[in-house]
């Protein structure tokens, strides 16, 4: 009987050790992935500020938008500490300003070249950030880790905007019904 109790206690201790060690490595991996997302976000956010300053210079004399509106958007961006839907929406509005500038036939070629160069760099940084955010999200949502991370960690928003091209407003984009759902409804006569 003593041997059975010793084996049972040994199994419980071994299971506890395995769970503790596993938890340690999972926590470490989550922290590393979270830091990678934050690092990519800070790089992107710094360049977004430089981009906004360039837009302020190009928009001299309220040529494309009132400076008060532009300053309000830029100040809102500075207050946001991580990628959110509000941040994406503000950038959507700034990108609309960029498209106005690009469409203006009287735009300065130097300004357009600076914007184009900035867009390439920003789009590359967005790709890096989105990749890191998706890797983080995939990791914390994967089974069986999701049983542990379910309430402890929140997923990261990704930045679904491309600079220099027409985009949909991020806040209204999620309200739209996808085409494949509409096709299913039509096929069922709804």
- pLDDT tens, position by position, 81-93: 888 888 888 888 8
Report the number of distinct structural domains present in the chain.
1
Other Cβ atoms within 10 Å of 42 Cβ, number: 13
> Between vectors from CA 188 to CA 184 and to CA 190, what angle results, nearest 5°?
95
Gap between the Cα atoms of 32 and 155, Å rounded: 15
- Residue 40 in any domain: the answer is yes
What integer pLDDT is reported at residue 176 of this predicted model? Answer: 61
**Of 27-36, 138-147, 148-157, where does the model show the most confidence?**
27-36
What integer pLDDT is reported at residue 173 of this predicted model? Answer: 63
Kindly give, in sequence order, each residue whose CB lies less than 8 Å from that of residue 141, ignoring residues fewer than 6 positions away: 149, 155
Residue 133 sits in which domain range? Answer: 2-178
- Residue 102 in any domain: the answer is yes
- Residue 126 in any domain: the answer is yes
What integer pLDDT is reported at residue 177 of this predicted model? Answer: 59
- Residue 159 in any domain: the answer is yes
| Token duo for residue 39 | 């690092």
- Residue 6 in any domain: the answer is yes
Largest CA distance in the chain: 93
Gap between the Cα atoms of 190 and 187, Å rounded: 8
- Residue 158 in any domain: the answer is yes
- Residue 77 in any domain: the answer is yes
């Amino acid at each position: 009987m003593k041997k059975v109790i010793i084996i049972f206690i040994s199994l419980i201790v071994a299971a506890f050790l395995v769970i503790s060690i596993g938890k340690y490595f999972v926590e470490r991996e989550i922290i590393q992935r979270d830091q990678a997302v934050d690092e990519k976000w800070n790089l992107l956010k710094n360049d977004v500020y430089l981009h906004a300053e360039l837009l302020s210079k190009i928009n001299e004399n309220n040529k494309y938008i009132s400076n008060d509106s532009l300053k309000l958007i830029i100040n809102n961006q500075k207050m946001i500490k991580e990628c959110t839907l509000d941040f994406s929406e503000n950038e959507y509005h700034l990108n609309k300003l960029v498209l106005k500038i690009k469409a203006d036939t009287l735009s300065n070629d130097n300004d357009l070249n600076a914007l184009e160069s900035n867009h390439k760099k920003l789009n590359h940084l967005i790709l890096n950030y989105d990749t890191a955010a998706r890797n983080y999200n995939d990791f914390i949502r994967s089974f069986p880790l999701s049983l542990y991370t379910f309430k402890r960690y929140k997923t990261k928003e990704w930045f679904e905007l491309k600079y220099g091209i027409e985009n949909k407003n991020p806040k209204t984009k999620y309200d739209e019904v996808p085409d494949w759902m509409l096709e299913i409804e039509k096929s069922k006569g709804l």
